[in-house]
Structure 1
C-alpha cells in the first residue's frame, strides 16, 4: 500500500509540476505612514488572520530600526497596512502558492527620497530610501528563484504639500518604477499605487499628485492607480481608519486581478 501511495504522489507531481514545484511569489509594499496606519487593537482577530501560505514576512520600518525583522503573524506588531487583506485575498484565489511579503516604510517620506533621480534642489536626499529598498529586497530574496508578483506603493501625501514636488511627481514615479523593475530583473512586475486625499488645507497639491499617478499609469505598462474614494479617515484627516486600511487592501487585490487579465 505504501508503494502505491508514493507512486500516486509522484504521478501527481509529474502531471502537475507547477503545483509541486512553483517558486514563491513576492509582493513588495512601500510608502509612508499611510502604509501602516491600521491599528491591531481596533479590529477583530479574524480580520488579521495570517494564512499558512505566507511563508516569509520581512518588515523594514525605518521609524523604528534600520534593520529589517521577520514577522510571524499580521497581528504581531501594533499596526498594519493594506498588505494584510491583499495577501488574504490573493491566497484565497491561489491556495497553492507560497507568498513572500516584503514591506518597507518611512513616515513623512516624499518622492525626493523614493525616486532614484530628483531633478531639483533636494539632490542631497536623492534616492536614499530607494537604495535601501533595493538592498532590502535583494537580501530578503537571497538569490532564490521567485516570481515578482507586484509592487504596492502607498505614498504621495508629503509631495502634496509642495508645488515643485507635485509638478515633478510624474517623472519621479516613472523613474522609481522603471529603475526598480530594472534592478530586480522584473520588467513586467505589476505596479499599483493608491490615490491620496488628505486634508486639503494642509495638502493643497494633492490633485496634481493624483493626476501625476494617473499619467504615469497611462503612459507606462502593467501599472494602475487604486481609488481611495469614500475610505474613512482618522481625526487628523491624513491617516486611514483601520477598517479603511483593510478596504484599501481589498481594492489593491481587485486592481491586481484587473492587471493580470
Structure 2
C-alpha cells in the first residue's frame, strides 16, 4: 500500500490512534451533557445515583461533578433527613446552580424580556396577564377542564406530561399526611424555559397556577419557583377539598430526589 507525501506505513499506523481520539472527546461531552440533564430533571441526586442511572464509574462521576462545580454550574448539599436511608453518613446530593441553569436554552432571554417590557408599556399590566394566560393555555390546550376528584392523580400526571413536552422537565410526587393517607400530589417542574423572564414578570407564574387550578378543578398551592431561586417549581395539588386538608404536609410517601420546601403560601412568584 502506498502513502502519499512521503509518509511511511509505519508513521501512518503510529498516527492512527490520534485520528480515533475525536470520538472520545465527543463521548466525554455527551456524558457531561447527560450528567447535566440528570441534575436538571432529578436533582438533587447523589453521585451513586448518577453512576447507577448513567452506567458510570465512581471516578467518572466525580470527574464530571468536580468540573461542573469548578465551573459554578453545580453545587453539593447535605442530604435532608428524609432522603437518608440506611446507616452511615448521608451522601451529599448534587444539583445545578442558577448559573448552570442559565446556560440551558436561555439565548433569547434578553430579547423576550425586552418584548415583555414593550408589551407592558403599550398595553399595560392586563396585556401582560393576557399574554401569560394564553401562553399556558396553549401548553395545556388539549387537557379537559375540571378533572373529577377520583381521576385527579391521573389528571396531574397529564399536566406534568404537557409541561414536559413544552420543555419544563416536569414530574409528579405523591405527598402523605398524618396517618399515612395520601393527601396530595405535587407537580415538580425541574426546568423553566422562561425563568429569567418570569423573575421580572411574575404574571407568567401566576397564570400557570391559575391554569393548573382550572384544569384540575381544585385549589392548588405554589410552594416554590425557579424564578425565586428554588431548585424546582413545586405546586401542591390537594386530593381533598375540605378545609382540614387545605394545608399540605410535604412529607413524601416515598423517597424522592426532589426536595420539598416547607409549606407556605406565596402571594407572588
State the TM-score, normalized to the length of structure 1: 0.31
Between Structure 1 and Structure 2, the one with more helix by share is 2
Considering only CA atoms, is the larger Rg found in Structure 1 or Structure 2?
2
State the TM-score, normalized to the length of structure 2: 0.30
